[in-house]
Amino acid sequence: MYLGPIHHPAIGIRLPEILLKGILRAFKNRNTTGTLMLSFVRETAPEYVINAPPGVYDITRGHTGTSIKKYMTLAHEMAEEMNVPIEIEADHITVTSPSKAVKRIVGIEVEYGLSNKELEDAMEYIKSEIDEAVQTGYVDFFTIDTCEMVRLEVSSMSSESIKERFRNLMPREVVEDLMNRYIGRRFVFIGSSGRPFSLSFSRLDVMKLALKYLDSIELALKMYKMIHKEMERIERPFGVEVAFDELPELTEEKDIYFYLRELWERGLGIDFIAPNIGFEKRKDYEGDLDELRDRVERLSAIARSFGTLLSFHSGSGSRPFTGKGEGVYEVLLEATGHNLKYKVSGVYIELLFKLMESYPKGTRPRGLYERIFEDVYKYLKECIEEERELSSPLLKRMVEEYESKGKPIESEEPIFKYFSFISLNLRDSDGRRYLREEIVDLYESDEEFRANVDREVERLTLHMIEGLKFNNNVERLSWWTQ
């Protein structure tokens, strides 16, 4: 069901066969509703990609081996069986290639931007993703990511260069509309603490923001219209989020206001927007908490003036149960007035591998963990030697550092922490995702292991629900549905 802009968690179900029971049990036990999702392009893909022979598609595309149809159908069926209200999301629909996205996640610098042909191909692929999601009849929400089309170079251009480019690219009527919307106005906002603040725009501000964001905004609108057209066919209500978090810079107040305002001017109001607030994937937040509180409070106030709440991505920290570090949950709740969306995904697979690692040597779970680790390492070595899609100087350094330690089979080793995701998409000579299949078989055939997994998955989910005060949020559904 479409939840609307209410306070709730969003969880990636990379292995739905294994993760759903524990997650939904936690939801039920705390009277919580939330979103179940996978990231399009990277984590999931249409069935024709998942079922294609090895080597046809990049290993980072649909790297969970879980199709769009499969995760949405399994999520719906188990939630129905357990009588838990959930929303099913198509997360991070993006024109960015999966290999680019993965490289950025691990800290490799990759240029932004696409050629016309790349954009055309990406939009055709997105159409196939949306088609499969809509055909399930279960999708309720879409996160749109057009960060690839943000013109980041504008931020470092001189004033004169910005003015010249603006004159050359912007039609006169567009210029007039933009200036009338922003110049000579003072926009006032009230933060969750009650503190007021305001924004004012200079002509140069407007020029800079227009050059930086209008291409991204127009593409977001085009993607929304594609989604709307398909969802009309099944007459199902849905919501939309826009992702800013993939940009390599902190989201500024004027930037988020401009983006939301220009979407609104084009007829698109969104439920959530995901800013870059300084979170890094699989790392605790190490910045100043007072600065974080002030930044988030201001961004939240601006977003709420458009009927939009903030969504926080990269929500997992350095360990499964650290959250995002001491005090971070409390700061986010205070700064947003207890109204936010919080996304996690990879942490559940990290938890699974840590559990398997904890078993004594010689047991089946420990043996499978060691095989997963060794096969991931072997694949990364082949990537470097054969200059495959994941190859980079950074990966080469990581592998060399790992080998210099004597190749310990420990889940905290960076090569495993950041690249273990590929294990679910490794294929054998018959095309089987052999490691994924063995993990699922272990869960289904070993009663003790299954009970341990369900318990730990539930515990991790409860940790987030309680830390971010999501318990009893089912009561908020009536605020939106009525």
Is residue 352 situated within a structural domain? Answer: no
Q: For residue 105, is pLDDT > 70? A: no
Whole-angstrom distance, CA of residue 243 vs CA of residue 145: 5
Q: Same domain for 105 and 194? A: yes
pLDDT at 135: 98
> What count of other Cβ atoms lies within 10 Å of the Cβ of residue 334?
14
Q: Same domain for 112 and 227? A: yes
pLDDT at 50: 98
Pull the structure tokens for residue 148.
């690839």
What is the helix (H) or strand (E) element at residue 298, kind and residue range? helix 289-304
pLDDT band at 114 (very low <50, low <70, confident <90, very high): confident
pLDDT at 102: 63
Is residue 3 situated within a structural domain? Answer: no
| Listed residue (227, 224, 266) closest to 242, CA to CA | 224
pLDDT band at 294 (very low <50, low <70, confident <90, very high): very high
Please state, for a pLDDT cut of 90, what percent of the chain lies above it: 92
Pull the structure tokens for residue 97.
């290639």
DSSP class per residue in 423-475 = GGG---TTS--HHHHHHHHHHHH-HHHHHHHHHHHHHHHHHHHHHTT-TTGGG
Q: What CATH number should be reported for the domain holding residue 78? A: 3.20.20.70
Q: How does pLDDT run across 152-163, given as a tens digit for each residue? A: 999 999 999 999
Pull the structure tokens for residue 243.
């992702």
Amino acid at site 254: K
> Which residues, at least 6 apart from 231, have a Cβ–Cβ distance to it below 8 Å?
134, 139, 238
Q: Same domain for 282 and 382? A: no
What does each C-alpha distance from 390 to 59, 289, 372, 383, 439 come to in angstroms? Answer: 9, 34, 18, 6, 24
Whole-angstrom distance, CA of residue 162 vs CA of residue 6: 39
Is residue 314 situated within a structural domain? Answer: yes
Round the average pLDDT of the chain to a whole number and report it.
95
Helices 203-234 and 172-182, interaxial angle, to 10°? Answer: 100
Q: How does pLDDT run across 364-420, given as a tens digit for each residue? A: 999 999 999 999 999 999 999 999 888 889 999 999 999 999 999 999 999 999 999
Q: Same domain for 435 and 336? A: no
Q: Give the distance from CA 290 to its chain's centroid.
A: 25
Q: Same domain for 41 and 168? A: yes
- pTM for this model (two decimals): 0.96
Q: Same domain for 400 and 466? A: no
Q: Same domain for 300 and 374? A: no
| Listed residue (188, 349, 171) closest to 253, CA to CA | 188
Domain count, the chain: 2
Please state, for a pLDDT cut of 70, what percent of the chain lies above it: 96
Q: How does pLDDT run across 321-348, given as a tens digit for each residue? A: 999 999 999 999 999 999 999 999 999 9
What does each C-alpha distance from 247 to 153, 180, 263 come to in angstroms? Answer: 12, 28, 18
pLDDT band at 101 (very low <50, low <70, confident <90, very high): low
What is the helix (H) or strand (E) element at residue 36, kind and residue range? strand 34-39
Q: How does pLDDT run across 232-271, given as a tens digit for each residue? A: 999 999 999 999 998 999 999 999 999 999 999 999 999 9
Q: Same domain for 298 and 385? A: no
Residue 312 has what DSSP assignment? E
Q: For residue 104, is pLDDT > 60? A: no
> Which residues, at least 6 apart from 385, have a Cβ–Cβ distance to it below 8 Å?
none
**Structural domain of 107:** 8-345+456-481
Pull the structure tokens for residue 5.
């802009």
Q: For residue 187, is pLDDT > 90? A: yes
Whole-angstrom distance, CA of residue 27 vs CA of residue 456: 14
pLDDT band at 2 (very low <50, low <70, confident <90, very high): very high
Q: For residue 113, is pLDDT > 90? A: no
Dihedral angle sign, alpha carbons of residues 140, 423, 398, 351 = positive
pLDDT at 111: 67
Q: Which residue has the tokens 């649909």?
A: 62
Q: How does pLDDT run across 218-229, given as a tens digit for each residue? A: 999 999 999 999
Is residue 450 situated within a structural domain? Answer: no
pLDDT at 481: 64
pLDDT band at 480 (very low <50, low <70, confident <90, very high): confident
Longest Cα pair distance anywhere in the chain, in angstroms? Answer: 73
Amino acid at site 103: K
Whole-angstrom distance, CA of residue 212 vs CA of residue 210: 5
Average pLDDT over residues 281-310: 97
Amino acid at site 117: K
Average pLDDT over residues 137-158: 96
> Which residues, at least 6 apart from 481, have a Cβ–Cβ distance to it below 8 Å?
4
pLDDT at 283: 94
Average pLDDT over residues 433-445: 99
pLDDT at 47: 98
Q: Same domain for 171 and 42? A: yes
